[in-house]
Amino acid sequence: MDEFYSSSEKLLKFIEKSPSCFHVVNNISEELEAKGYKKLSENERWELTLGGRYYVVRNGSSLIAFHLPSKGYDGFQLICSHSDSPTFKIKSNPEMEADKKYTKLNVEKYGGMLCAPWFDRPLSVAGRVLVKASDGIRPVLVNIDRDLLMIPNLAIHMNRNANDGYTYNAQIDMCPVFGDETAKDSFLSLIAQSAGTEKENLLDMDLFLYNRQKGTFLGAQEEFIASPRLDDLQCLYGSLQGFLNTEHPKNAVLFCAFDNEETGSVSRQGAASTFLQDVLKRIQFAMGNTQEDYLRAVASSFMISADNAHAVHPNHMDKADPVNRPQMNHGIVLKYNANQKYTTDAVSAAVLRTLCSAGDIPLQVFTNRSDMAGGSTLGNLSNTQVSMRCADVGLAQLAMHSPYEMAGKKDTYYFEKMAALFYQSRIKVTEEGVFIKE
């Protein structure tokens, strides 16, 4: 067993126990607690000390952890990734009856998924519910940890054009079957039971579908991994491990996981919210610094926006840029876009290149074909709230936004290594475009 296998094996285990964004944040919290990180509340006064390790959660689905150096700092160094993935959200009053023979669930799309691979496979339900408690209302995590639902395809005999480019209608085609007619009125009881309460105590819910198929290694040499939610949990997990392994940072370092990237980051807890700015300001003020000090620190800061990238596709090689063609297992992907969907510019790229070269970490480049529009991610949206130098990176993968994606076994390790090196280095800005690495 090598370091590549071991990193990706741990990643697959992390993904398996993280079926929703709420579980992702809960599992990150547990790893932070085990390393002595102290949970802060946004509702209470923060008492911070140099050398301290802390984390804050917003909405149960976004998390920012930070580790202050023991000697003082001049800026922040952070890696941001996202906790959410495209899926289907279960609507209120979820049950629908079909021909008095089936009970199905009413769902709506969350994010931009590939629809076809959601069909004909066991699915289940996870998320959070709000329950009545003696002292008010409390959130409870729920995971129905068994094969529960399926979205059955229409047989080829009844849809002869199914293989000629079918347009899926989310309201008609995508409702999962929950049971036969006897399942009527039992879904909320099942959820309540799983939350350890009665149906009457269930006030509301944020529940999502998830694919039950577990992650695996595949390929002639087991060089690939396949799993649900690799976008973006591969980057999230890699940056978390790099962060946790940093014992003595030389700058104020942060690990950030934001919810709602898949719907555009605009929410109370998304990358375009004030969450990051609020946390950075509160760190500064709790340390006795001023607004002026906050602005100086932001000007001296460096962010890595981490979200998976497209590998060149074996059956669609013409979809990639003619020159910059990322390959799985070939390391960190630096993403560029002239229209600023990605934040990478020559300055931030130069920092990343220096870092990866110092750590002997392979680096490759992604750009869209010039005649194709690509996606967007965290960095440029986060910069609308807190404007700092930023590079966009990712790991090469295939089948992005399918409920079962494919990536490179080695790349999880490369990301952990890059993240650890980034968090351990002091990237000091002396003037515009000039960095000194300590």
CB of 307 to Co ion, least distance (A): 4
Choose between 262 and 416: whose C-beta lies nearer to Co ion. Answer: 262
176 near 118, Cβ under 8 Å? no
Cα 84 from Cα 427, distance rounded (Å): 29
Cα 333 from Cα 394, distance rounded (Å): 5
Choose between 202 and 230: whose C-beta lies nearer to Co ion. Answer: 230
CB of 178 to Co ion, least distance (A): 29
Q: At what angle do helices 230-244 and 409-424 cross, to 10 degrees?
A: 40
CB of 401 to Co ion, least distance (A): 8
Could you tell me which residues are beta bridge partners of residue 57? 63
CB of 23 to Co ion, least distance (A): 17
What stretches of 50-144 adopt beta strand conformation (E)?
53-58, 62-67, 76-82, 87-98, 102-110, 123-133, 136-143
Distances (CA, A) of 413 to 30, 111, 236, 332: 21, 28, 12, 10
Choose between 37 and 118: whose C-beta lies nearer to Co ion. Answer: 118
Cα 315 from Cα 212, distance rounded (Å): 27
Phi, psi of 391 (to 5 degrees): -125, 145
Q: Collapsing DSSP states into helix, strand and coil, what is residue 193?
A: helix
CB of 277 to Co ion, least distance (A): 22
Distances (CA, A) of 337 to 237, 344, 348: 25, 8, 13
CB of 436 to Co ion, least distance (A): 32
CB of 104 to Co ion, least distance (A): 29
Choose between 173 and 411: whose C-beta lies nearer to Co ion. Answer: 411
Choose between 232 and 259: whose C-beta lies nearer to Co ion. Answer: 232
- Angle, alpha carbons 232-377-30 (nearest 5°): 35
Choose between 113 and 363: whose C-beta lies nearer to Co ion. Answer: 113
Choose between 307 and 416: whose C-beta lies nearer to Co ion. Answer: 307
Residues engaged in binding Co ion (CB under 5 A): 231-232, 307
Cα 26 from Cα 207, distance rounded (Å): 15
